[in-house]
Amino acid sequence: MASHRVLCILFLFFLLFTSTGSYTAKIIKLSVSYDANFQSLELQELKAMYGYVSAEELPGNATLRLLSDNDKPLYELRVAFTEPIFVVNPPLVDVDTNEVVGSQGAESTRYPEKGIKEINVPYYENAALIEIAFDDGKETRFFIANRLCNNNGVCDAEESTVSCGDCKPDKPDNVCIAFDDNICDPDCALGVDIDCIRQQTKPTPIPLQTPAETPGEQKPMPRQEGINLIYCGLAVVMLLIALVVVYYRKIKGD
Ligand SMILES: [Ca+2]
Ligand SMILES: [Ca+2]
C-alpha cells in the first residue's frame, strides 16, 4: 500500500516536472506565407509566447536563421516547405508501387495555391531578424524587433507580455500565461489559470447591517434582558415578604 503511494507521488512529480519543463520555454511563433516555387515569402504573423520549439525537418529544403540586431546568429533550424499546389483530377496511383496507373478520364490540372508554414523558434530578447535561405539560393529577410515591441505604451497586435513592456500580464494580449503567479490572465479560457479560479471563488464580504435609528424612537428591549428584570423584581418582592414575616413573628414572640 505504502509503495503504491510512493509510486503515485513520484508519478505526480514526474508529470509536474515534464509539463512545466516543456511549457515554460519562451518562443516566437512565426506564420510564413509563400506561393508556388517559394517565390514570395511573407512573415504574415508573429507572436512571443510560451510553448514548444519546432523540431528540425530533415533533410528539408531551407534553413531558417534567427539573428540579433548586429547580425549575430542566435538560432538555426532546417525547415521543409512543401509546394502549395492543388490538383484537380489527379491521376490514379498504385498505392503499393507508387506508380501512375491511369487517368480518371479528364486531364489533371494543377493550380498554384498559397501555403502557410508555422515555425516556433526560441525567444531571445535581442532577436531582430529572421532569415529564410532556400537550398537553391533564394533568401528572404524579415525585420522582427519592432514587431515584437515598439515601446509606444500601447499593446499592439503582435506584441505580448513575453516580448514587450507595452503589454501587461493582467490585460488582454491574446497570449494565455496560466502560471500560479497571483495574476489572473484574461486571455486564458475558463478554469485554465488557477489565479482566475481563486478570484472567482473568493467569498465577497457582506457588510454588517445596523438598523436605522430614528430619534425619539424607543428601542425595544431585548427579550432575555426583560426576563432577567422580571426575575429580579420577583426576588426583591419575595425578600420583602420574608422580612415582613420574620419581623411579625419576632413581635409576636416578644
Ligand atoms: Ca506597442
Ligand atoms: Ca496566473
- Can you read off the three cell numbers belonging to residue 130? 529572421
What is the bridge-based pairing of β-strands 85-88 and 109-112? antiparallel
pTM equals 0.66
Half-sphere exposure of 20 (CA within 13 A, CB side): 8
Ligand 2 centroid to Cα of residue 6, in Å, is 30
pLDDT recorded at residue 104: 65
From CA 81, how far away is CA 36, in angstroms rounded? 10
Ligand 2 centroid to Cα of residue 57, in Å, is 34
Alpha-carbon radius of gyration of the chain: 40
Beta-bridged to residue 134, according to DSSP, are 62
pLDDT recorded at residue 236: 84
Ligand 1 centroid to Cα of residue 138, in Å, is 32
Domain ranges of the chain: 22-87+109-149
Ligand nearest to the CA of 158: 1
Ligand nearest to the CA of 170: 2
Ligand 1 centroid to Cα of residue 131, in Å, is 24
Ligand 2 centroid to Cα of residue 175, in Å, is 12
Instruction: For domain 22-87+109-149, give the fold.
Output: Immunoglobulin-like (2.60.40)
Residue 79 · residue 64 · CB < 8 Å: yes
pLDDT per residue as tens digits for the range 149-174:
999 999 999 999 999 999 999 999 99
Instruction: Write out the chain's pLDDT in tens, 254 residues.
Output: 555 665 545 554 544 444 443 457 999 999 999 998 898 999 999 999 999 999 999 999 999 999 999 999 999 999 999 988 888 887 788 888 888 877 666 777 877 789 999 999 999 999 999 999 999 999 999 999 999 999 999 999 999 999 999 999 999 999 999 999 999 999 999 999 999 999 888 776 666 666 555 555 555 555 655 566 777 678 888 888 888 888 888 887 76
- Can you read off the three cell numbers belonging to residue 252? 409576636
pLDDT recorded at residue 239: 87
Instruction: Tell me which residue of 173, 133, 175, 119 sits closest to 38, measured CA to CA.
Output: 133
Ligand nearest to the CA of 156: 1
What is the bridge-based pairing of β-strands 73-79 and 115-122? unpaired
pLDDT recorded at residue 126: 97
